[in-house]
Amino acid sequence: MSGGSAPSAHRAVRVKVPATSANLGPGFDTLGIALAYGDELVAETRDEPGATVRVTGVGEGEVPTDASNLVVRSAAHVFERLGRPVPGLEIAARNRIPHGRGMGSSGAAIVAGIMIAAGMLQSDPDSPLELSEDELLAFATELEGHPDNVAPALFGGLTIAWTTERGPRFKRLMVHRGVAPLVLVPSFTMSTELARSLQPKQVPHEDAVFNVSRSALLIAALTQSPELLLEATEDRLHQHYRGDAMPATRDLIGELRADGHPAVVSGAGPSILVLSNGPGERLRAADLVAERHAEWQSLTLAVDTKGATVESIPA
């Protein structure tokens, strides 16, 4: 970390960030949903430069615990972009979001760092600064490269994200209360970079039209008509190209969909998101997996409606 000496007044914040699932089938690089299952961090400024991160839970003993940690780098990015001194930081992270499973762990780490910086800036006794939603999304997208995961992590609910010449934009929508998410998590991981490398640069015209129709239908299904979710989650743009790289995911999705469950790859995979029409259908999907594929962990989750939160706490 760099950027000058730390402010003299110590500040501390608590940040919570939800897991996310992006794409949702046909909405490649555009649609994302926040899930009520996330990471919690407490960050405090210190007089010494640099950073120390204490991790418990997922990533403990694996992720960096110094200034190279993604949370720390993301916080520093905000301070530096705004021309503010980067403070020394002590961070305690309790992580629940699985890494490398398609549940937005890297996006959550980026958002956590940005929210830490936002909380510190807002509580600065000398020159308080409140960041707008557009600024939060812009900083997160600069670091993540695309907004489909960071938008729901920041703002909760179902988000449509897109980019313009002025930067990334988003629209947040409320999910119909009948939608009951189920996430199926395997023991193996998948590299997002590898998954994206399997995408062709061009797709057939009919496949593009197919996905446009299903993406439009998916918005209606998630917000108004959950009974349409099975058809609305059909995809020809990305999932089958990645199938050979994660055959267990591909095969289980096929099995679930054949049984009538709206199952899709969660993000880049290998986790699976099932967008069930009601808790009864979700239980039926979870029972199918428990009976035939006990090696997969089932997470029965709600849609997170708050997104990332930050609160000041006594230092």
7-20 pLDDT tens trace: 457 899 999 999 99
**Using an 8 Å Cβ cutoff, are 129 and 96 in contact?**
no
pLDDT, tens only, 253-273: 999 999 999 999 999 899 999
pLDDT band at 1 (very low <50, low <70, confident <90, very high): very low
**Using an 8 Å Cβ cutoff, are 174 and 305 in contact?**
yes
Long-range contacts of 253-259 (CB under 8 A, 24+ apart): 255/288, 255/292, 256/285, 256/288, 256/289, 257/230, 259/285, 259/288
Q: How many of the other CB atoms lie within 10 Å of CB of 66?
A: 11
Q: Which of 43-47, 167-171, 177-181, 196-200 has the lowest mean pLDDT?
A: 196-200
pLDDT (average), residues 109-137: 95
Between 130 and 191, the higher pLDDT residue: 130
SS3 87: coil
Half-sphere exposure of 51 (CA within 13 A, CB side): 29
Report the b/e string of 172-199 with b at 16+ CB within 10 A. beebbebbbbbbbbbeeebebeebeeee
AA identity, residue 206: E
pLDDT (average), residues 62-84: 97
Q: What are phi and psi of 36, to 5 degrees?
A: -80, 70
Q: How many of the other CB atoms lie within 10 Å of CB of 162?
A: 13
pLDDT band at 192 (very low <50, low <70, confident <90, very high): low
pTM of the model: 0.93
Q: Which of 43-47, 122-126, 285-289 has the lowest mean pLDDT?
A: 122-126
The fold adopted by the segment(s) 179-300 is Alpha-Beta Plaits (3.30.70)
- For 12-171+303-313, CATH gives 3.30.230.10
* Domain locations along the chain: 12-171+303-313, 179-300
AA identity, residue 104: G
Residue 198 CA to residue 104 CA, distance in Å, equals: 19
> What pLDDT does 198 receive?
67
